[in-house]
Structure 1
Amino acid sequence: MFDLILFVCLRTAMTTRFILEPRKPAKSLIHPPECSFFGSFWLSISTIIGSTQIYGITRGPKGAWLIVAVRVLFWIYAACALINATVQYWLFFQFTPNKVLQMNPAWSLPLYAAMLTGAIAGLIGPLQPPEQRLPIIVAGCAYQGLDIAIFMWLFCFCLFGFATLSFIVAIPRMGFTLSWWVFVFLNVGFNIATIEIGTELKSEGIWWVSSVMAILLVVIWLFTLVSLVKAVWIRQIMWPGRDEDKDM
């Protein structure tokens, strides 16, 4: 209860600050070192979920509704923490001028918040229904960084997120080059790894994700092919001095 009181007080104070200074929320996400501490919000959320498990289920009445609620909160936290880490690091490197010497321990907070998904999984997993237990433990291992292939998949997903955000921002300034085919063949390996994980875990949900990924890959392949033909037609590539040899 004391943790909840502290959480509400701090969130109220931050909300009041941003109401009085409405321009500050956007700036705070890219201003060093304040931007790094947004990850502490998710650390607070993880503590609340963990405390709910301990005092409401493990040592508490073990209400069926609370077991379901904690499971739902776990998956929401896992998704939000990963999205936050990906987007926040991208914002940090995209809009905040930094040098290596300016790095500080607060930089690890967004990723640390995502890693705590593993700690929450360890708390709630054992008392979840058997059919829900395995997905939670597998996700926890992936986030914690203790598993050989699934951890690497999650790491690749983070890199994929960075690359996607950077590509979306750079689209207006990009001209076609043959390196655009990287959008296809590198992600084929990512897709195959997803299929293999789904096969290993016999997870229909992961199979559906891998199917959607495959469809998107076909779309990207067709888009790249059309862009290639167009670039050749307008003499943007495959012509003397207009391709990789333009600086020669």
Structure 2
Amino acid sequence: MRFREKKRYERADDEKDQPPEFVGLRDRIVHFTWPWFAATMSTGSLAVVLGNTPNTFRGLQTIGKVVFIFDLVLFLLFNVLMTIRFILVPRKLFASLHHPVEGLFHGTYWVSVALILNCAHIYGNANTGPWLPKALEVCFWIYCSAAFIVGVFQYSMFFRLERLNVTDAVPAWIFPIYPLLVVGTLAGTILPAQPNGPSWNIFVGGVLLQGLAWVVSFLMYALYMQRLMTGSLPSPTTRPGMFVSVGPAGYTAAGLISLANQAPTFIGANYWTDSPSHDGDIVRIFGIMSGLFVILFAYWFFFITTVAVLSGVRKMSFSLNWWAFIFPNAGLTLATIQAGKVLNSEALNGLASALTIALVIMWFVTAFFCVRAVYRGEVMWPGKDEDKTMERIGWGWQSNRNNPEARRVIVRDGFSQNV
């Protein structure tokens, strides 16, 4: 089943496609889409940054814990709303996974999980027993397996069921592989509490999966750059989503430097070579240099996107893309923190603190406009969300309850057939 956007003149002539003025609560919940988990991504990434920022003050850890707890509450609430949505309209479960807009954001759910695991170690390791490191080890491998499956499964569905235009390429095309982009930082976070055997496995797994995610992201970068060079910028409302392009390089740099900095503690002196130099030190040098090699790439995209956003700020209205002001730039901040740590640079530490303050400010700004948009019916409203082009799936629970077309769809050779 494919999803096609109707042409503008067709929409104007079709009154059935006009968003209704009044809807019930169930109809609004039905339009609770995957991009909402960008909010938990942003909140979780903010908590991770607060737990790692170099210039601290008394009470900062408490603030970080509060943000983490709030992130947990949001994540549980969003899970409940998403479950209700799929109970009310079961067809939207599969449809949402390969929808050319909403489906791309399914990865935000899994990134939210990874950030929760990060926070569990940062804020819980010092206050719990030996069970937490073991639990995080198990959760790490479960998460890696799930993230790998998502990366393969979702791209396979897009390749088979959808046809996306390169002229519409956006950084969100990276999202199916995004859950693997944060594996390196997750591994680097939980490594200090792991015993030697598991720590080595986590180290290797983190490097392998981070490498996969970075290479796939780099391929998507090429398509995105082609769009920017031959087409036009995204609409002002969706331009904050351009910050997603900052994340891959930022999280990769942060993950590589974090892992490399810990390599000498669990890699033997002559594990790979007979050199008098410690093999762990060699890995540390190469890892740090690799991270520093890509970090400015993240800053380059950050400035490119900032200019694009500022050029259209007067025409900008709220969309869930606004949460991209936070979570990709959190990766850039973490990379800066790691770089400042290994280079012993007070300037980089100061820059990291400035970025942290900016993230906090942007989180409050985005949260305010998000709540206001829900209140005004600008999001979670029939015809206004990412699922508005789902064919033959009526708006809300009431319009699907007696709709024979909403029962089941078989996809054959890219065409949908109701049964």
Match of 1:94 in 2: 160
Out of 85, 93, 116, the position equivalent to 1:17 is: 85
Q: CA deviation at 1:74?
A: 0.3
Q: 2:31 matched to 1:31?
A: no
Q: 2:219 matched to 1:134?
A: no
Structure 2 residue runs of 5 or longer lacking an equivalent are: 1-68, 217-270, 273-419
Out of 179, 194, 214, the position equivalent to 1:113 is: 179
Q: How far apart in 1 are the matches of 2:215 and 2:202?
A: 18
Out of 66, 70, 73, the position equivalent to 1:2 is: 70
Q: How far apart in 1 are the matches of 2:116 and 2:206?
A: 17
Q: CA deviation at 1:155?
A: 6.8
Q: Encode CA deviations 1:107-130: one digit per residue, 9 max, x unaligned.
A: 111212112111100000121011
Q: How far apart in 1 are the matches of 2:70 and 2:188?
A: 23
Q: 2:125 matched to 1:63?
A: no
Q: How far apart in 1 are the matches of 2:132 and 2:87?
A: 34
Q: 2:108 matched to 1:40?
A: yes
- Opposite residue 167 of structure 2, the aligned amino acid is L
Out of 117, 139, 144, the position equivalent to 2:210 is: 144
Match of 2:142 in 1: 76
Q: Encode CA deviations 1:89-148: one digit per residue, 9 max, x unaligned.
A: 110111012111122221111212112111100000121011111110111112222xxx
Out of 169, 184, 205, the position equivalent to 1:103 is: 169
Q: SS in structure 1 opposite 2:182? A: helix
Q: How far apart in 1 are the matches of 2:172 and 2:87?
A: 25
Q: How far apart in 1 are the matches of 2:81 and 2:111?
A: 18
Q: Encode CA deviations 1:28-59: one digit per residue, 9 max, x unaligned.
A: 111110000000000110011001111111xx
- Opposite residue 41 of structure 1, the aligned amino acid is Y
Q: How far apart in 2 are the matches of 1:87 and 1:133?
A: 28
Q: How far apart in 2 are the matches of 1:87 and 1:155?
A: 17
Two-structure CA RMSD over aligned residues (Å): 2.1
Instruction: Write the mapping of 1:195-234 to structure 2, written as runs, cut at 5 A.
Output: none
- Opposite residue 202 of structure 2, the aligned amino acid is I
Q: SS in structure 2 opposite 1:29? A: helix
Q: CA deviation at 1:62?
A: 4.1
Match of 1:228 in 2: none
Match of 1:49 in 2: 117
- Give the number of the structure whose residues are more often helix, by fraction: 1
- Opposite residue 70 of structure 2, the aligned amino acid is F
**Identity of counterpart residues, as a percentage?**
40
Q: How far apart in 1 are the matches of 2:157 and 2:116?
A: 27
Q: Is the 8 A contact 1:28 1:35 kept in 2?
A: yes
Q: How far apart in 1 are the matches of 2:156 and 2:197?
A: 36
Q: TM-score, normalised by structure 2?
A: 0.34
Q: How far apart in 2 are the matches of 1:7 and 1:106?
A: 21
- Opposite residue 63 of structure 1, the aligned amino acid is G
Q: How many residues of Structure 1 are paired with residues of Structure 2 in the alignment?
A: 150
Q: SS in structure 2 opposite 1:97? A: coil
Higher relative contact order (CA 8 A, sep 6+): 2
Q: Is the 8 A contact 1:116 1:143 kept in 2?
A: no
Match of 1:207 in 2: none
Q: Is the 8 A contact 1:18 1:24 kept in 2?
A: yes
